[in-house]
């Protein structure tokens, strides 16, 4: 697997440090008094980020999961986005924190924010580990950002290409030939 990587762009140590700092910001925002939050996480890319983040958040919380997909199969450019699971819990008057792995065009988060908004929460905030600055839209508010990155398609720390590489502990760019490789299956 490591042979497929062209370049590590964010190391596991840098991620750990930044996730800690993001958790501290969130504790500042929600902690005194402990208002209680409901985290709405966008699967599957956010699962590693979520699991590291929540263990650094000493807050009362519930966790809800939604699945969104815009990159079908091997695509590295987004197609039409849909929410595949919209079984959100009762969010009326709740403090909602939406957690996603990466924002690019903002299409996914726009959809998730709208779905949450329909359930009349008290307040919605959004956190992403990565933001592609060149495309980040101004109409999708993001309150907590881990790292601003360039335009490259990245994998690792939860992010996949064709379902693979989510377990890499760092964020990396694959060798160009990997994005075009025919599946061995």
Is 177 marked active-site?
Answer: no
In the block, which residue shows the tokens 């409901």?
A: 38
Question: Which of 14, 35, 104, 177 is labelled catalytic?
Answer: 104
Nearer to Mg ion by Cβ, of 45 and 146: the residue is 45
Q: Tell me the C-alpha to C-alpha distance, in Å, between residue 44 and each of 36, 49, 83, 163.
A: 24, 10, 12, 10
101 token code pair: 């792995």
Beta strand pairing call for 37-43 and 61-69: parallel
In the bound complex, what is the minimum distance in angstroms from residue 164's beta carbon to ligand 5GP?
Answer: 10
Q: If you ran DSSP here, which 8-state letter would residue 74 be given? A: T
Q: Which residues bind Mg ion (CB under 5 A)?
A: 45
In the block, which residue shows the tokens 């815009």?
A: 70
Nearer to ligand 5GP by Cβ, of 9 and 27: the residue is 9
In the bound complex, what is the minimum distance in angstroms from residue 29's beta carbon to ligand 5GP?
Answer: 23
Q: Which residues bind ligand 5GP (CB under 6 A)?
A: 42, 45, 70-71, 78, 81, 100-108, 153-155, 159-161
Residues forming the active site: 104
């Amino acid at each position: 697997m490591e042979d497929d990587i062209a370049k590590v762009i964010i190391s596991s140590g840098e991620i750990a440090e930044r996730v800690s700092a993001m958790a501290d910001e969130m504790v500042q925002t929600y902690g005194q008094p402990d208002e209680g939050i409901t985290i709405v996480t966008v699967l599957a890319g956010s699962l590693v980020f979520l699991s590291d983040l929540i263990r650094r958040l000493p807050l009362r919380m519930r966790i809800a999961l939604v699945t969104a997909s815009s990159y079908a199969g091997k695509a590295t450019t987004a197609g039409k986005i849909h929410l595949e699971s919209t079984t959100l819990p009762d969010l009326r008057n709740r403090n909602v924190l939406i957690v996603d792995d990466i924002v690019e065009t903002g299409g996914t988060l726009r959809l998730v924010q709208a779905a949450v908004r329909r359930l009349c929460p008290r307040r919605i905030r959004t956190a992403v580990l990565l933001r592609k600055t060149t495309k980040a839209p101004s109409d999708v508010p993001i309150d907590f950002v881990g790292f601003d990155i360039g335009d490259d398609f990245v994998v690792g720390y939860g992010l996949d290409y064709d379902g693979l590489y989510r377990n890499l502990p760092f964020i990396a760019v694959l060798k160009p030939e990997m994005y075009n490789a025919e599946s061995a299956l």
